[in-house]
């Protein structure tokens, strides 16, 4: 026992459209800073003024750290 949940079997998600790749891409902010900045700007134009950065996923710590560093270095300055 290591404290982590076992991965869910893929067949569990076959009948769940919210987990289809296209829907995941549409409903989350996954991409390069160049892809993310205009998406956040779109929401900003709608009046949204707060965003949460969440990367608590199955990626290794080093990858999560890299994502946060990219966000801080390239995305945050676009909104100052």
Whether residue 3 is contained in a domain is answered as no
pTM of the model: 0.69
pLDDT digits (tens, 9 = 90+) for 18-45: 888 888 888 888 889 999 999 999 999 9
Please tell me the total count of domains within the chain.
Answer: 1
Whether residue 4 is contained in a domain is answered as no
pLDDT given for residue 77 in this prediction? 97
DSSP letter for 74, please: I
Token pair in block for residue 9: 């079997």
Whether residue 11 is contained in a domain is answered as no
Residue 55 near residue 68 (C-beta atoms within 8 A): yes
Quote the mean pLDDT of the chain.
87
Whether residue 10 is contained in a domain is answered as no
DSSP SS3 for 27: helix
Domain range for 49: 16-79
Whether residue 6 is contained in a domain is answered as no
Q: Minimal CA–CA distance to 48: which of 29, 64, 20, 73?
A: 29
């Amino acid at each position: 026992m290591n404290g982590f949940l076992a991965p869910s079997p893929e067949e569990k998600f076959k009948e769940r459209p919210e987990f289809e790749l296209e829907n995941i891409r549409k409903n989350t902010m996954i991409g390069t800073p160049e892809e993310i900045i205009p998406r956040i700007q779109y929401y900003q134009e709608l009046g949204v003024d707060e965003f949460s950065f969440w990367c608590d996923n199955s990626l290794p710590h080093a990858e999560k750290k890299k994502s946060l560093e990219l966000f801080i270095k390239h995305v945050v300055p676009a909104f100052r």
